[in-house]
Amino acid sequence: MDKAAETQLRNIENRTGRSAGELFEIVKKSDLKKHGQLRDMLKKDLGMGHGDANLIVHLALKSDGATASEGQNMPEILSGIYAGKKATLRPVHEAVMGAIKGLGPFEIAPKKGYLSLRRKKQFAMIGPGTRGRLAVGLNMKGVEPTDRLIAEPPGRMCQYQVFLTSVDEVDNDLLSWIRTAFESAA
């Protein structure tokens, strides 16, 4: 488990007053089978936030991206994320990642359907979104949303989202937002 998930898990234990093992047992003993149903049950029954409940379900079911990508190299991971209809988004993904690599060192943590990019904390998420678009999630404060930079509701994994459909949309506006998120995660 990566450091960010370990910290989040300790915080969940403190907030709920239950150990990770107890929380995993709640998930495993439930009659529910689908990830979303289990997550929603934890949110309702234990008052957990979306991200916390999501992590507990992933860990209990061993369905997190890190486990799924164990032993694979990055091209194999990306081939899994950008399979089928999502394959057309891979060049857009590569263009965004190429721009981000010029900013400085950061960690890439594969998840089930996207990549989490972190310095001391997560600054971006990149992966296929809805309606044939690449989703770039960004964490940063003090930036006014626009028609393109969409503010997310509190409690989401990222504070903003930008959706892309072509390499041409990897422009100065996007790079400026990514740089702001990157710098705020130092």
Q: Please report the pLDDT score of residue 68 as a whole number.
A: 59
pLDDT of residue 123 exceeding 70: yes
CA distance 19 to 9: 9
Give the pLDDT score at 87: 96
Tell me what the mean pLDDT of segment 83-90 comes to: 95
Residue owning tokens 């990514």: 178
Specify whether the CB–CB gap between 177 and 138 falls below 8 A.
Answer: yes
144 alpha-carbon distance from chain centroid? 22
Cβ neighbours of residue 100 under 8 Å, at least 6 residues apart? 106, 117, 124, 178, 182
pLDDT at 81: 93
The better pLDDT of the pair 160, 186 is held by 160
Residue in the structure block whose two tokens are 């999630």: 137
Q: What is the pLDDT of residues 141-157, one digit of tens each?
A: 889 999 999 999 887 88
pLDDT for the residue numbered 70:
65
pLDDT (tens digit per residue) in 16-42 = 999 999 999 999 999 998 888 999 999
pLDDT top residue among 111 and 123: 123
Backbone conformation region of residue 47, classed left if phi is above 0, alpha if psi is from -120 to 50, else beta: left
pLDDT-based confidence at residue 1 (cuts at 50, 70, 90): low
**What per-residue confidence (pLDDT) applies to 67?**
59
Tell if the pTM clears 0.75, that is, is over it. no
pLDDT confidence band for 61 (50 / 70 / 90): confident
Q: In angstroms, rounded to a whole number, what is the distance separating the alpha carbons of residues 61 and 176?
A: 38
